[in-house]
Amino acid sequence: MSHAKSGEDANGECHDSKSRVTIVGSGSWGSVAAKLVASNALKLPSFHDEVRMWVFEEVLPNGEKLTDVINKTNENANYLPGIKLGRNVVADPDLENAVKEANMLVFVTPHQFMDGICKKLKGKIKGEVEAISLVKGMEVKKEGPCMISSLITKELGINCCVLMGANIANEIAVEKFSEATVGYRESREIADTWVQLFSTPYFMVTPVHDVEGVELCGTLKNVVAIAAGFVDGLEMGNNTKASAAIMRIGLREMKALSKLLFPSVKGSTFFESCGVADVITTCFGGRNRRVAEAFAQSGGKRSFDELEAEMLEGQKLQGVSTAREVYETLNHSGKLEMFPLFSTVHQICIGPMTKRAAEEAPPSTDSSTTGPNFLGCYRDQVAELLSQEERLPHHEDGDTKKPSTEIIGAGISSLKREKLKALLRQCVTDLIPGVDEMQSRARSMLLMSQLSNKKPSISVTNEEVEDDIQLLMKSDPRLFKEIVKKHTDDVLTSLNNMQQQAEKLLDNVATSCRPMSRDEKRDLQRSIKELPGGNLKRIAEIIKDHHAASGKAFSDEVTVNLEEEDNVMLWRLHFYVAAVKSARKLAS
């Protein structure tokens, strides 16, 4: 790393030959980073003794400010009590002031805060400044996933290395042996400077020329740790966690996703401290595993937000938000089915996030109903909207004039009609992720079932997925069959419930439709006759269900006579036929 020289430049301004370091962040890991760097700054002649640490100001229960307490006691009473950081660590609550003289910046905050921090520092960083990120996570933007090191480089215009590894802050704080990996993109000399600044007899650091690989290891392992916590909370045993799936599959999915996002990622990086060692360490310790274990022990009744507040004392949980970001990335790329562990963790995690929708939905009388009742929630909102305003006059049924091009909400005001359409669009938007996950889950169950019968009829994109299933099948056939049956039953129950709620939602929507014209009835009759046998059976079911709900008598044999059906039924059939046509067009 090139340091400024002592003396004067062409403008006569003095420059300091020593580097100044600022730690941006003051949680448990940030405080440990400050302790490591501060101890080395005192020994290295090329660094100033003072190490500044930006602290997000908090007021402690005794009324004192956290920065004042750190500067007075040399301890972070909130996040690392009992550990001396070093007399040369100075806490500063002013972000801009903390970094203004530094030419080496260490970023170590929860990843969800990094975008805001970079925006605040944009244009404030001057001269030859180097950065290193200890932040585990990524930002998902419209153009795709953005690693935190890339965000720092883009927003601040400075080079950024990364440091990741098998690190539990509280253990390093008491100087138990640990190791980490510095990932660098440009100069090995810069990487060596960071290694020198962080290395101690109890904290061994090695450089690797692979920023993305090192950073993704540190990011994705938190999702694997969440899965390990679920296993612990369900008391499935260490064999399940270590051998049968979680860590091995998790590491494999980490490697596959990293290669998918950045083909330049090196396979050897996953054998460094930031890779396999970090996965093992985090899956047996660390906040993500602990909170996920508590979540599973509560049966999912306690939200991650609640558990985070109770268990982490102000620290942030990274795995849940990272699981969501990974899901968004995979869903956008159409690769969800290749990553069953990541997809499953996200599916479990989104339950508490949708708690409000579940609470707003009406209670179901079906004891087999599972999951938040999104459709029931929207059904009631649609019904409430349609009851708020009296209908405007319709034209008479059979009127020969050209019917309105508006079908849904044609008999209500324009404002109400637009609100109705917005509700329906939002309903579809909210359901898409759940449907995608269900499809992926159903496909996995189908593959497991077929492999158990040794008749795989669907393609396997990753041979190792089949190997994992075969391993579980051989090690515990009874458990394997129970898993297949349980998940299959869950998927079928969810689909059945979704269908029932969709029927009720469509009934409400159909009540807002204008009367169907005679020409439209003739077109509908013709379209029904052209449907395949399986779809005709569904037409009969729709008519039967509608008659039963209306209190009409019906026989086992259904004759489709559109002249005898009410307007709601006609439009229900119209929507079904249109959906079938759209599906067949997509499949062709």
Q: Catalytic residue positions?
A: 221
Residue type, 435: V
Asked if 323 and 343 count as a contact pair (C-beta separation under 8 A), the reply is no
As a three-state string, the secondary structure of 494-552 is HHHHHHHHHHHHHHHHHCCECCCCHHHHHHHHHHHHCCCHHHHHHHHHHHHHHHHHHCC
Contacts of 512 (CB under 8 A, 6+ apart): 386, 408, 409, 410, 411, 412, 420
The H-or-E segment that residue 7 falls in is strand 7-8
Q: How far apart are CA 224 and CA 245, in angstroms?
A: 11
Structure tokens at 225: 């740790």
Phi (first) and psi of residue 473, to 5 degrees? -65, -40
Q: What is the 3 state secondary structure string of 294-354?
A: HHHHCCCCCCHHHHHHHHCCCCCCCHHHHHHHHHHHHHHHCCHHHCHHHHHHHHHHHHHHC
DSSP 512: T
- For 576, the 3-state DSSP assignment is helix
Q: Are 279 and 254 in contact (CB under 8 A)?
A: yes
Total number of residues shown for the chain: 588
Of 431, 483, 421, 535, the C-alpha closest to 244 is 483
Tell me how far apart the alpha carbons of residues 160 and 152 are, in angstroms, rounded to a whole number. Answer: 7
167 near 29, Cβ under 8 Å?
yes
Do residues 135 and 106 make contact, with C-beta atoms less than 8 angstroms apart? no
Alpha carbons 16 and 35: distance in angstroms, whole number? 24
Locate 349 and state its tokens: 């995690």
222: Cβ contacts below 8 Å, ≥ 6 apart: 136, 137, 282, 288, 318, 319, 322
What residues are paired with 140 via a beta bridge? 145
Q: Is 483 exposed, middle or buried (0-12, 13-18, 19+ CB in 10 A)?
A: middle
